[in-house]
Structure 1
Amino acid sequence: MQSTLMFHGIGIPGHPMEPGEENYWINWDQFDAIVDYCAKLPPDEVNFTFDDGNQSDLEAARRMRAQGVDGSFFVLVGRLGAPGYLTEAEVGELLDLGMEVGLHGRNHIDWRKADDATLNSEIDRAAEELGELCGRPVEAVAIPYGHYDRRVWTYLERSPFRRIHTSDRGRSRPVDRFVRREPVMRWHDIADVVELIAGKASPAKRLRQAVMPRLKRLA
């Protein structure tokens, strides 16, 4: 089993934040401690993922590369070049550093509330545009807010993405197409993150982790 950590922004945001988003921003000391710890682990034990395409992603990638750590960066196509977000050139720098660039949608909306045309724009067309920018097909996607229902799940199942990242807590097998992730929050210290990586959870939490994705797929 693998643990996949989910990061958002690091340091000081360069743009206004959505309500509650501040809880997903950590400082650089926290991040460096996590990278230092994970660099000593087997490479298939933990995955680093980043949502939203914040400009801090590039510095994070540089620090990771210095330690030999890889990551996947899920960008919002509609925010590329906006204040506080990655530019198209910086996406190229991520690729040059050996990082994966994946899709987080176009405008960071709840896909459950999107009509068919909007869903196509947010996923299919946005993936095509990002693929053209990267010069390669986009193989991975992360669901905004972690929100999905039966319709979104079915849509993604039929998509060409090889890996679909959720915000469902817990660990995943390397062969799983739908990947669970553990968010790293501003109050987490390195000991908390070590527990997340180890997959430690109470029986009640493990039951909730098993049941919640099934309930979402039935909604």
Structure 2
Amino acid sequence: MRPPAPARVLMYHGVDHVSRERDPHGMFVTPANFRAQMEQLLEAGFVPVTEAAYLAALGGARLPRKAVLVTFDDGYQGVGEHAAPILESLGIPSVLYVLADLLGGRADWLGDRLGYPLLSAGEVQGLRTQGMAIGAHGLDHADLTAVDDAELRRQTRETRAALTELLGADVSTFAFPYGAHDRRAREAVAAAGYRAAFSVHRPAGRFGIQRVDVNATDTLRTLRVKLHGLYPAARRTSRHVPRARRLVHDLLGSAYDAPEPAPAGAGDPLEVNRS
């Protein structure tokens, strides 16, 4: 089943200065690179849209031809400190997916070397007041394909209830931790009352909408490629043909050897997914 695709959807994680040694999976884009990427979006004629506009498009509303939705997974503090001011200055809306039970905690799933701090409940409320939409990412970053039915209901329904109470507003969308989903997980998200859910590279309809990951190794050139309408299909092909993937890397390079400001982090721009 092919997902509805009213707009391209970008997935970021952290925005901050984090060393390559502490961020082996390349989760953190530097603030300078993030600003350059957002400016490139606008200069290339892309039209950033709100979560509400995206959902309306799933129901048949029209969007600009080059519409794009910007999303962030996990709720790292650097998104509030660095990304939010950049987005506000450029007039770009976004969606932040947070973990209901870990607000104010740390990202333990990234390993002891990083343990990066997560936004607090008050900080999430503040970002929503500033205009950033807030979505659900589960309670504690559990892989929803690996839990039983009772835990699946808890991760979806209790998360939505907790965030709705915190924000005083409905929580409309869900992003699967690790991008992992199956039929059970998708059905649980739908039953919990969400209007749509996002995966990463495995499209599966309205409750498994694919996104394009942007990470620390991406240059402005690789971002242009990732924004191309054919990129998702090309990426799926490259996963099964290692030689094709190596060719893409040779042609595009990475942020580590590009002339623009060197980002913090490491990883494979076509393979990283620690959402």
Q: TM-score, normalised by structure 1?
A: 0.82
Q: Does 1:58 align with 2:80?
A: yes
Count of aligned pairs between the two proteins: 201
How big is each residue's C-alpha offset from its partner over 1:24-64, in whole Å with a ceiling of 9 and x where there is no partner? 22111211111112234223411110000110111312210
CA distance 1:208–1:125, change in 2 (3 Å): farther
Cα distance in 2 for residues equivalent to 1:204 and 1:38: 21
Q: TM-score, normalised by structure 2?
A: 0.66
Q: Does 1:180 align with 2:210?
A: yes
Task: Identify the match of residue 121 of structure 1 among 154, 159, 163.
Answer: 154
Match of 2:194 in 1: 161
CA contact (8 A) 2:135 2:172 kept: yes
Deviation of 1:140 after TM superposition, in Å, equals 0.8
Deviation of 1:70 after TM superposition, in Å, equals 0.4
Q: Over alpha carbons, which structure has the higher Rg? A: 2
Cα distance in 2 for residues equivalent to 1:22 and 1:206: 20
CA contact (8 A) 2:201 2:232 kept: no
Cα distance in 2 for residues equivalent to 1:100 and 1:202: 25
Cα distance in 2 for residues equivalent to 1:192 and 1:182: 11
Structure 2 runs not aligned, ≥5 long: 1-5, 50-66, 107-116, 240-275
CA contact (8 A) 1:3 1:46 kept: yes
Structure 1 runs not aligned, ≥5 long: 210-219
Q: Does 1:4 align with 2:9?
A: yes
SS in structure 2 opposite 1:194? helix
Identity of aligned residues (%): 28
Cα distance in 2 for residues equivalent to 1:202 and 1:74: 22
SS in structure 1 opposite 2:131? coil
Ranges of 4+ aligned residues in structure 1 off by more than 3 Å = 200-209
CA distance 1:127–1:29, change in 2 (3 Å): same
SS in structure 1 opposite 2:25? helix
CA contact (8 A) 1:62 1:97 kept: no
Cα distance in 1 for residues equivalent to 2:94 and 2:119: 16
Deviation of 1:169 after TM superposition, in Å, equals 6.1
How big is each residue's C-alpha offset from its partner over 1:93-141, in whole Å with a ceiling of 9 and x where there is no partner? 1111111000000110111111122112211011100110010111011
Match of 1:145 in 2: 178
Task: Identify the match of residue 75 of structure 1 among 90, 98, 103.
Answer: 98
Cα distance in 2 for residues equivalent to 1:98 and 1:21: 32
How big is each residue's C-alpha offset from its partner over 1:128-184, in whole Å with a ceiling of 9 and x where there is no partner? 0011001011101100001112211222233311121111268x9xxx554210111
Match of 1:192 in 2: 222
How big is each residue's C-alpha offset from its partner over 1:73-94, in whole Å with a ceiling of 9 and x where there is no partner? 0001111012511011111111
Q: Does 1:86 align with 2:98?
A: no
CA contact (8 A) 1:58 1:93 kept: no
Letter of the structure 1 residue corresponding to residue 91 of structure 2: G
Match of 1:216 in 2: none
Task: Identify the match of residue 39 of structure 1 among 42, 62, 67.
Answer: 42
